[in-house]
Structure 1
Amino acid sequence: MTIDALAGFYPWTKALHLISVIAWMAGMFYLPRLYVYHTAAPAGSGRSEMLKVMERRLLRAIINPAMAAAWLFGITLVLTPGVIDWSAGWWHAKMTGFLLMSAFHGHLATARKSFERDERTRTERYWRIANEAPTVLMVLIVIMVIVRPF
């Protein structure tokens, strides 16, 4: 299949990309909130152990696969002829937001491993503030894609 053939799949690729991003964002909104609760739970307590299971399952069953799918379908969209005007500024801002979201995902995955070891390397306040990062990045990304202000 040549790259030109991707144009015929564009609506499906775009739909699957959007579905993947929605699933990814749902997890990205929820996991830092679980970390807020986990930070407050005494290490080794039943609540802490329950949160470890919830965090691991959320990351492995929803967030990781959804991010991988978002990347896969996003790259497919970018490779589809005529979809991206490479000289447009919105595209670069959107990609910056997307890369920052991916980096934040990595930060959350690293933090989960710390919680798994009963290490509390960040405060509850830190996780409350960090809980807002996906929202801010999502607003940036959506505005860039829909409004294309520059």
Structure 2
Amino acid sequence: MSLHQRFRDRLRPWHLLDLAAFLFGAGWSLWRNSAGFETTPPLFALVTAIVSGLLAVVVLRFTLGNLWGYAVEYANAGGQWSDLAFLVPVGSGLAGVVVTYAVTTDLGAAAWAGFWTFAVVAGVVAVAVSFAAGYRGTSA
């Protein structure tokens, strides 16, 4: 099998999302450097851009992997993706991103706040659903 064939067989749409995240992270770093936010030597700016791009890929994979894992485990436990107990944490996380970005205009802070809003609300919903299911199970 030729190298071209092997490369084409292994390329997945997920890789295009990784590439977009890398380009976004690297481009953001280069834009900040060229806009006068930072004054660094060109080689250091390039290395920083590459590291920022790789960090953006890691953050993307971590975030989407956790969201996908949450969705799959919820479905495996017998829930539907249209259940309110599933939609509340996801909606809260998105609301956390929007509100934080509107207040701070910092994309990193907004993503961080959205993730933690999602995580905390998912924990609260899980505890509330467990209590409700436990009480329903003992009263029947």
TM-score interval (norm. to shorter): 0.3 to 0.5
**Which has more radius of gyration?**
2
TM-score by length of 2: 0.44
TM-score by length of 1: 0.42
RCO higher in 1 or 2 (8 Å CA, sep ≥ 6)? Answer: 1
